[in-house]
Amino acid sequence: MKRLVILISGRGSNMEAILRAATAERWPAQIAAVISNKPGAGGLEVARAAGIATAVVDHRDYPDRAQFDQALAAEIDRFQPDLVVLAGFMRILTEGFVAHYAGRLINIHPSLLPSFPGLHTHRQAIDAGVKFHGATVHFVTAELDHGPIIAQAVVPVQDDDDEDTLAARVLEQEHRMYPRAVRDLLEGRRVLKDGRVVSVDPR
Ligand code: GRF
């Protein structure tokens, strides 16, 4: 049984999508814990209601990034995860943290990377006038919103979109893509090879 730890900072709708899929599709995997850096994150309640262990490592309790990351890693490692899933986790992670989880730390970013890293991606897309936007699931590297791409979902940008309508269209796709990408990794259907993610043919 593979073990997952999911990190959140907010409402946790991507986390919830993963929980639902894991249960509905009877994944041979266990969501071992949901950990938040914010005590008030709405997703914590959702996880608790689903009977999943939760923990809070509040970044405000630590003097710097390195010490926060150390405490966070210690908490994560208690659950011995095969995969650590960032789902709306809004902290920049140190190189040491990323190296510790090399090959087993993934993130979802609401843009078609490498376009629009950073914050306010939907605003960036509208301002740039792109006709397609979307979301990316990727392995985490020390560079922000960077790293081998596992999956991408594309949505059209309409002329009358504002940030909210575009975000909602992208989020719907995130909820489909992220559980699928996690499952593909857990079941070995997608693997990292020479810095890129490739599909493995089922035999
Ligand atoms: C999602 O759009 C995700 O791509 C981004 O932050 C948002 C988190 O939403 N990183 P939620 O907490 O999963 O509902």
pLDDT of 60: 97
Judge contact between 75 and 56, C-beta under 8 A.
Answer: no
* Strand 105-109 to 132-139 pairing: antiparallel
Report how far ligand 1's centroid is from the alpha carbon of 20 (Å): 16
9 CA: nearest ligand 1 atom: 12
Residue identified by tokens 């209601």 is 49
As beta bridge partners, residue 137 has 108, 151
Judge contact between 155 and 177, C-beta under 8 A.
Answer: no
pLDDT, tens only, 151-186: 999 999 999 999 999 999 999 999 999 999 999 999
DSSP tag of 92? P
Q: What's the token pair of residue 113?
A: 């990377």
Taking the CB of residue 167, how many other CB atoms lie within 10 A of it? 18
* Strand 149-156 to 2-8 pairing: unpaired
Enumerate the active-site residues: 109
pLDDT of 203: 62
Is the shortest distance between the CB of 88 and ligand 1 below 6 Å? yes
Is the shortest distance between the CB of 107 and ligand 1 below 6 Å? no
Residues of the chain predicted below pLDDT 50: none
12 CA: nearest ligand 1 atom: 12
* H/E segment holding residue 192: strand 190-193
